Structure 1
Amino acid sequence: MGVYLYLIFLGVSFCASVVGAICGIGGGVLIKPLLDAFGVLSVASISFLSGCTVLSMSCYSVVKAKKSGDSLVDMKTGTPLAIGAALGGVAGKMMFQFLSDLSGNKEKVGAIQAICLLVITFGTMVYTLKKDQIKTHHVENAAACVLIGVALGICSSFLGIGGGPINLVVLFFFFSMDTKTAAQNSLYIILFSQITSLINTIVTGTIPECTLGLLGLMVAGGILGGVAGRKINKKIEAETVNKLFIGLMAIIMLICAYNIYRLW
């Protein structure tokens, strides 16, 4: 890889993490399809790098919010969700590894991920545009929260996106959270799912091929993006966050469509 590609990877991780910290989507939902589109690394390597970047950004954002006393995380529902996401993160990683080992064509796995992400993103966009007309709920049962978290963890880990837009839709629908509260709770859930996913990757010895320099560069981009995104999030209105989120969904769907065409 040339120096310009390292700069592209740094730029993608930083910009995606800025947006991820603002909207609560983690950033992986942009990092994964964008880097897949370049086709310079394997699907497994990009999933791993994306997950590590999202982990660094979410870790900074959650810890900083807690220390600053402006955390909007609802521990009563957020913690069972996060525990479920941690369990789901392991299951999703195992599903991805199983599919990778089963498939003779590794690129097809990337195409399947792109199809799943396209469908999820489209559904998320439709829900976001119609959410004022949809009745929401206030789930408080801990067991139900854990099960919902498991589903989120499986999706995020299998797709290598950290959490993505599906987290926000679930938090809107099942817990009636506003945009900024949902964003912080989403990052809290992402943090747990990515920690367990990374631990599982290390323990099972399935770390894909990638250079430490590139990994360090993307983690740094994730942290710096988290710093910038957190500052921006505090200054803008919730309606602006909504508009940014909808615009991102459209961009992600276009990238996914291109990746399906390229990888299938």
Structure 2
Amino acid sequence: MGVSLLYALVIVVANSFGAVSGMGGGVLIKPMLDTIGADSVAAISFYATVAVFTMSVVTTGKQLQHGVKLSFNMLLWIASGAVIGGVIGKALLSWSLSMWSEHMVLAAQIILTILTILFAFLNTRFNWRSFGLNGWYWQLGCGLVLGFFASFLGIGGGPINVALLMLLFGMPIKLATVYSLATIFCSQGAKLIAIIIAGDNLQFDLQRLWFIIPAAIVGGFVGAKLSQVLSSEKVTIVFQLMLLVVILINGYNGVQLLMHW
């Protein structure tokens, strides 16, 4: 009960900020649950996926309700790539856990997360010039990259989403956050289906979902509301602050991992 309540608190806060920034809350949920250390890497990845998927449903629905316009074709290609990339990432994570120790897999996740964070921070901090790409193949490729990292790292969305959408297609940050969350909805939905079909979810403590899902819904509503009232400049600040927090958390987890190797 105590651990589940702590998970719920983490998810409400993480999903609120994750919805505003377009990262999805997993980028905070995953390392913070790792820090708590109450469950395995696979279980934490599953809980983060459920939380982020739930939040993406709520937030994307609220954004569309408030009149945000999306290109269906573009979203379809990005989401299709994200679904494929998500399945590949899930398969690679499962294979990695079967081949190596949890310590080694967690170390790889921490390193890759920090590298994607640095890319995202530098992109938004220095306003790198957009490539202005167009075409379904670029959108599909972008989705593949986003889905793979989101699934393999177990963070649901991640810092790379918004930054890559802005860099490749020249989207303003607030529009990029909506596309990011819609993409997260598709990729994490596909990941959950794959987990359930394989029966992997039966090895986890499903009682925790009674706390995780309501917390994710609350976080989604709070994040959607904040996204409506904050300016693009403030959304950028929230995005960058989240990146710094995630770097600190992953750095701490990396030090703890080395100390207990």
Q: Tell me if TM exceeds 0.5.
A: yes
Deviates more, 1:109-118 or 1:93-102: 109-118
1:242 matched to 2:236? The reply is yes
- Distance, in Å, in 1 between the alignment partners of 2:207 and 2:199 is 20
> TM-score if structure 1 supplies the norm length?
0.94
Whether the 8 Å contact between 2:4 and 2:212 is mirrored in structure 1 is no
Aligned to 1:188: 182
**1:69, distance to aligned residue in structure 2 (A):** 4.8
Whether the 8 Å contact between 1:108 and 1:263 is mirrored in structure 2 is no
Percent pairwise identity: 32
1:146 matched to 2:143? The reply is no
Where structure 2 has 5 or more consecutive residues not aligned to the other structure, the ranges are none
Change (3 A) 1:46 1:208: farther
The partner residue of 2:75 within 68, 75, 78 is 78
Where structure 1 has 5 or more consecutive residues not aligned to the other structure, the ranges are none
1:164-175 alignment, distance < 5 Å = 164-175=158-169
Whether the 8 Å contact between 1:121 and 1:166 is mirrored in structure 2 is yes
1:89 matched to 2:81? The reply is no
Amino acid at match of 2:142: I
Q: Secondary structure at the match of 2:125?
A: helix
Whether the 8 Å contact between 1:72 and 1:184 is mirrored in structure 2 is no
Q: Secondary structure at the match of 1:207?
A: helix
- Distance, in Å, in 1 between the alignment partners of 2:70 and 2:19 is 14
Q: Secondary structure at the match of 1:16?
A: helix
Whether the 8 Å contact between 1:55 and 1:195 is mirrored in structure 2 is yes
**1:205, distance to aligned residue in structure 2 (A):** 2.4
1:19-168 alignment, distance < 5 Å = 19-66=17-64, 68-103=65-100, 105-131=101-127, 134-168=128-162
Whether the 8 Å contact between 2:78 and 2:142 is mirrored in structure 1 is yes
For residues 208-234 of structure 1, the C-alpha deviation after alignment (integer angstroms, 9 at most, x for no partner) is 633222123111111110011111111
- Distance, in Å, in 1 between the alignment partners of 2:134 and 2:217 is 32
Amino acid at match of 1:152: L
Amino acid at match of 1:75: F
1:255 matched to 2:249? The reply is yes
Amino acid at match of 1:179: I
- Distance, in Å, in 1 between the alignment partners of 2:91 and 2:223 is 31
Amino acid at match of 2:103: E
Deviates more, 1:70-79 or 1:156-165: 70-79
- Distance, in Å, in 2 between the alignment partners of 1:259 and 1:151 is 25
Moved over 3 A (4+): none
Whether the 8 Å contact between 1:168 and 1:183 is mirrored in structure 2 is yes
CA RMSD of aligned residues (A): 1.3
Amino acid at match of 2:10: V
Whether the 8 Å contact between 2:123 and 2:167 is mirrored in structure 1 is no
Change (3 A) 1:208 1:168: farther
For residues 79-115 of structure 1, the C-alpha deviation after alignment (integer angstroms, 9 at most, x for no partner) is 2001100110000000000000001x22221121111
For residues 189-244 of structure 1, the C-alpha deviation after alignment (integer angstroms, 9 at most, x for no partner) is 10110011111111222226332221231111111100111111111111111111
